[in-house]
Structure 1
Amino acid sequence: MLIILSLILYSSKVKIKTLKTSLSYEINTNKQLEISTKILKLSIIELQTNVNDLNKTINTLVVGTKPIANTLKTGEKEVYLTFDDGPSDNTSKVLEILKDNNVNATFFVNGHPGYEDIYKQIINQGNVIGNHTYSHDYKTAYSSISNYNQDVNKLNSFLEGIGIPRPTLMRFPGGSNNTISNNYGGKDIMNKLTSEEIKKGYQYIDWNVSSGDAEKMTESKDIIIDNVMRGSKGMKSIVILFHDSNPKTTTAQALPIIIKNLKERGYVFKTLSINSPIIHFK
């Protein structure tokens, strides 16, 4: 009888040990499953965060670079007059002509202390200001992305100091496809800058019609008129490049005739905005 009881006790101990082992295994399995579940949840959260960040980046790039849907009415043609490198004494003449002809323009300005009243007049007259860097010095601006941003920010601070909000529009000195920048920042500097400035919230604008007034210190008035009228022929949406620095007196002289001719061709005059049709060389 004692032997039988011993065997039963032994068998019970074995069963208890087996049960404990199974229970321990199940507990460990559950813990591992719980840990795995937590890891999976964290992975899903991290993945969702990455997806959200990626969507934000894509939205920034797409909104910043794709041409806005054409809002032109049937048969309508639009023209954007743009002036670089001012303001100067010459800008006052340009502003007077614009006012007399009831049209507006976009001015891609540099930093010119002493012309604070002209900057303000540009805005007060219903025109738009864009950033063209403070210095317009290729070596200063294009030696690095950091230097370019410093030059841009210097102009922003200058404008804000006289009550003009930070521009959202930008034009690179020489245009986005200039090659002189290669001498200072390397062959890829403009590719990097165009991407960088869009990420910062700017829209850079090039042009599709050039007045040619930068070909000489002071180009012939008739040549400027001819360049614009030939360059815009057959086009529905044009962004014209002019300059309003002091030597460009013939640009101001040509402007009334250009405005008159474009009006006769049926063009509607507009100012650029972040939502305007985009002209990019790069």
Structure 2
Amino acid sequence: ASVLSERVSLSSKSFSDGVYSEDHLDVFAEANLADDVLVESGDASKQLLFDESSYKELEGEDGYKGAEEEEEIDDIQFPFSVEALDRGELPIYREPTSTEDNDIPPVPQVTGCRTHGQVALTYSEGPSDATAKIVRQLNNAQVRSNFFINTTWLYTQQYAMVVQNMYNAGHLIGMTYRAPKHEDGSSYTDSEIRQDVINSARMIESLIQVAPKYVRLHYSNQEDTRTENIINDLGFILVDYNLDSMDYLHKTGPEIQNVYRKAFVRQKDTYDAKGSFISIQYDIPGSGSLAAVPYIIQTIEEEGYTAVRMDGCLNDAKPYKASADSLEYVNDKFSFNTTGYKQGQKPAAIITNSMDENNQEFYAEEEEEGDDFFESKANVSFGILVTTVFIAFSGTVVQYI
């Protein structure tokens, strides 16, 4: 269960009490479901948020079906535990205990909203040519979303303008961060990482006049607790997710819509109550994020959920930092508890399947091996995604918001 142990905590008490067996762990690990698990905090017995029926559904007549049957397992995502529901609480933090470096404790990461029935749509690793189109669709549906910016792309003026435009449209701006390495492959020191984080946040601050408060770490199999603690000490809040749209596997709107729909239905069937979700999409060429926007919004509406920004998700009236190196939090005219804060959605009409076809044509590129952008996610090759990311970012045609 090595994959699972890198991402999720299970106390020894959970095993001794028979909550979950080694067989359960083997199944979850083999299915690469670690990112979809939220662990309840504040309780001596931390439990995986899967019940026995979920485990049974992974089995066929000949036993466990295997991770290759992705459609059978991609929707197994629960936002909170039965105990938390009984108490009327939503544990919103993931607190893993098994990490890459046992000497450095992990930092809790936000994985859910404080209010039942909320969905915070988050987009990571942009901006790209796809981002402006995604934002336009969100604006048309009156949805305010959350964008975790990869500042690598902000050296290009077109993408810097996209960030400014999405901020001015009322979307929340966060930051995606990946600890760099020296040219010789050696790791940065703590002080170097600290300065790099500040410099990255300053790039965003220079565009929107406030610094991001919410940070998401670039995906990695191994949890970098050293970087987590440095970021936390600088006053940033780490954000994870509990609903993976799998837009890196699925390229059409209906496929990704099905991931959402199954998650909502399973939540209701299991707990007879709405959950709270932080979903993740990747606003980069090659993912299905652009094609999925109207389908996701339609499903959120049909299932009785409300789309929110991260500040509404957490009831946070000050969702930014005064400056990149400051510990002071501030608000702006769009923040939670201001007259400019908006939540909810107004689904726009879905224009047949031509949207998906056009999206596929726009992103079609020759497959080749690339960087480790989505390292080992669901045992799939992400060469296509990585290739198209760099092709798109090197182009000159950008569609503005």
TM-score range normalised by the length of the shorter chain = 0.5 to 0.7
Write out aligned runs for 1:20-39 (5 A).
Answer: none
Aligned counterpart in structure 2 of residue 246 of structure 1, from 275, 281, 285: 285
Does residue 207 of the first structure (1) align with residue 249 of the second (2)? Answer: no
Return the offset for 1:131: 1.3
**Contact 1:169–1:274 (Cα < 8 Å) also in 2:** no
Does residue 94 of the first structure (1) align with residue 128 of the second (2)? Answer: no
SS at match of 2:123: strand
Tell me the percent identity.
Answer: 22
2:161 match: 117
Q: What is the CA–CA distance in structure 2 between the aligned matches of 1:208 and 1:139, rounded to whole Å?
A: 29
1:127 match: 171
**Contact 2:120–2:146 (Cα < 8 Å) also in 1:** yes
Larger helix proportion of the pair: 1
Structure 1 length-normalised TM = 0.61
Return the offset for 1:139: 4.4
2:254 match: 222
Change (3 A) 1:254 1:275: closer
Change (3 A) 1:150 1:230: farther
Structure 2 length-normalised TM = 0.44
1:82 match: 122
Once the two structures are superposed, residues 58-96 of structure 1 have per-residue CA deviations (whole angstroms, 9 ceiling, x without a partner) of xxxxxx959799753xxx500000000111111111111
**Contact 2:109–2:240 (Cα < 8 Å) also in 1:** no
Write out aligned runs for 1:1-282 (5 A).
Answer: 72=115, 76-111=116-151, 112=153, 113-114=156-157, 115-133=159-177, 136=178, 139=181, 143-144=187-188, 145-174=190-219, 178-180=220-222, 190-215=224-249, 219-233=251-265, 234=267, 235-248=274-287, 250-273=288-311, 276=314
Q: What is the CA–CA distance in structure 2 between the aligned matches of 1:159 and 1:68, rounded to whole Å?
A: 23
Q: Which amino acid is the alignment partner of residue 162 of structure 1?
A: L
SS at match of 1:266: coil
Gaps of 5+ in 1: 1-63, 182-189
Moved over 6 A (4+): 66-70
**Contact 2:171–2:309 (Cα < 8 Å) also in 1:** yes
SS at match of 1:273: helix
What's the C-alpha RMSD, in Å, of the aligned pairs? Answer: 3.2
Corresponding residue pairs, total: 196
Return the offset for 1:221: 3.4
Q: What is the CA–CA distance in structure 2 between the aligned matches of 1:100 and 1:173, rounded to whole Å?
A: 29
Gaps of 5+ in 2: 1-106, 268-273, 317-401
Q: Which amino acid is the alignment partner of residue 119 of structure 1?
A: V
Once the two structures are superposed, residues 228-272 of structure 1 have per-residue CA deviations (whole angstroms, 9 ceiling, x without a partner) of 222343151100000111223x31111101111111111111111
SS at match of 1:162: helix
Change (3 A) 1:253 1:69: closer
2:59 match: none
Q: Which amino acid is the alignment partner of residue 126 of structure 1?
A: G
1:41 match: none
Return the offset for 1:224: 2.0
Once the two structures are superposed, residues 126-154 of structure 1 have per-residue CA deviations (whole angstroms, 9 ceiling, x without a partner) of 11111112xx4764699344443343223
Return the offset for 1:180: 4.7
Of structures 1 and 2, the one with the larger relative CO (CA 8 A, separation 6+) is 1
Q: What is the CA–CA distance in structure 1 between the aligned matches of 2:148 and 2:192, rounded to whole Å?
A: 19
Larger Rg: 1
Change (3 A) 1:79 1:265: same
**Contact 2:120–2:308 (Cα < 8 Å) also in 1:** yes
Change (3 A) 1:222 1:143: farther
1:58 match: none
Q: What is the CA–CA distance in structure 2 between the aligned matches of 1:137 and 1:203, rounded to whole Å?
A: 16
